[in-house]
Amino acid sequence: MRTVKIYFLILSIALVTVYFLQLPAAHADFVYVDNVAKDPTIFPPSIHRSRPQTVTVNLSAEEYIAEIADGKDAWVWTFSDEDNPVEHGTIPGPMIRVMVGDTVVINLTNNMGNIEPHNIDLHAAMGPGGGAAVTEIAPGETKTLRFKALREGAYIYHCAAEGMAWEHVSYGMYGLIMVEPKGGLKRVDKEFYFGQSDWYLKQAGAEGAGHAVPEDVYVLDEAKASDELPTMYSFNGHKAALTDPSLFGNTIRADQGDKVRVFMVTGGPQQRFQLPYHRYNLGQGLQGT
Ligand SMILES: [Cu+2]
């Protein structure tokens, strides 16, 4: 009797092994886009009210292969505003704009076809992990987070899935949430929205970064990230996003005497604000003509 049981056990293991060997290797259908550059002039308007209300934001997590510098295609993970038909996922993600006292409802969808789990951790949300634990979702899922914005200020939000915030931020998942005072911020003539990334890159190589990423596409180099030695910096998702006229090189303009407000989120994950390093002269960029 014992021999029969062992025989069936071995047969079962063999059948299961054959079954899994016959399964096709996990392979995602990577979505290619030209770039994930963020237009620094697209974000919600300033607040001009003093009564709190409920603000609903529909976000999705989107994974692409996109150019992040001339001739450099990278696997990027992004946040996208589902209610904005102009943009797909960008780096930084869409700016969220609310007033202190508002109830904020975030509906987050992890797009079907993605590989990674994602979530959202908003530093404007008081509570464990800024909502990360309750919004972590697999591809194809949607979850809702509701919180009250209790503190004024400009805060980062980012993905912190798998307890690996630095990894998800490195791939591009961060943005800014602005909690304005009652009545809104002082009026200005122009506003712009910038997000700084530091990139730690290597080509996916024959192993495809474990996810069949095409071998010449750039992915996160964890060793470089650990050593805090960035391959490059970018503002708004592409090394030339704010300088190349074919991207947004001509959008940062103001007239002489204009009051200008800059929203700046440093996603990192490692480095601090590095504007001079990027050789983008903000002072020159904002001079009137
Ligand atoms: Cu993520």
pLDDT in tens, 200-232: 999 999 989 899 999 999 999 999 988 888 999
The alpha carbon of 18 and the centre of ligand 1 are apart by a number of angstroms equal to 34
| Structural domain includes residue 4 | no
Please indicate, yes or no, if residue 10 is contained in any of the structural domains: no
In a domain, 276, yes or no: no
CA of 288 to the centre of ligand 1 (A): 39
Q: What are phi and psi of 119, to 5 degrees?
A: -155, -175
From the CA of 9, how far away is ligand 1's center (Å)? 41
Say whether pTM exceeds 0.75.
yes
Does residue 274 form part of some domain? no
Owning domain of residue 240? 24-268
Distance of CA 89 from the midpoint of ligand 1 (Å): 12
Asked if the structure places residue 112 within a domain, the reply is yes
- The verdict on residue 165 lying in a domain is yes
Q: CA-CA distance, 5 to 268, in Å (whole number)?
A: 57
Q: Are 118 and 62 in contact (CB under 8 A)?
A: no
What does DSSP assign to residue 150? -
CB 185 within 8 A of CB 95: no
Residue 118 CA, ligand 1 centroid: distance in Å: 4
At residue 284, the pLDDT reads 36
**What are the tens digits of pLDDT across the range 152-161?**
999 999 999 9
* Predicted confidence (pLDDT) at residue 146 exceeds the cutoff of 60: yes
Average of per-residue pLDDT values in the chain? 87
147 Cα: distance to centroid of ligand 1 (angstroms): 20
CA–CA distances in Å: residue 167 to residues 49, 77, 118, 134, 241: 38, 10, 11, 19, 22
Q: Which residues pair with 65 in a beta bridge?
A: 32, 75
- Predicted confidence (pLDDT) at residue 17 exceeds the cutoff of 60: no
Has residue 178 been placed in a domain?
yes
Q: How confident is the model at residue 21 (pLDDT cuts 50, 70, 90)?
A: very low
What are φ and ψ of residue 95, in 5° steps?
Answer: -75, 135
Q: How far is the CA of 119 from the centre of ligand 1 (A)?
A: 6
| Residue 141 alpha carbon to ligand 1 centre in Å | 13
Q: What is the distance in A from the centroid of ligand 1 to the CA of 246? A: 29
Per-residue confidence (pLDDT) for residue 5, from 0 to 100: 56
The identity of residue 247, as a single letter, is L
Per the domain annotation, does 277 fall within a domain? Answer: no
Distance 79 CA to ligand 1 centre (A): 9
pLDDT for residue 205: 94
Q: Convert the pLDDT of each residue in 257-288 to its tens digit.
A: 999 999 999 987 776 665 543 333 343 333 22
Determine the distance separating the centroid of ligand 1 and the alpha carbon of 19, expressed in angstroms.
31
**Ligand 1 centroid distance, CA of 135 (Å):** 11
Tell me how far the alpha carbon of residue 136 lies from the centroid of ligand 1, in angstroms.
Answer: 9
| Neighbouring residues of 117: CB distance < 8 A, sequence distance ≥ 6 | 110, 136, 137, 138, 139, 161, 162
pLDDT of res. 86: 85
Cα 1 from Cα 3, distance rounded (Å)? 5
The total of structural domains in the chain comes to: 1
Instruction: Using the mean position of ligand 1's atoms as its centre, give its distance from the Cα of residue 198 in Å.
Output: 16
Give the pLDDT score at 113: 93
Q: What is the mean pLDDT of residues 145-156?
A: 96
C-alpha 120 – ligand 1 centre gap (Å): 8
Domain containing residue 190: CATH number: 2.60.40.420
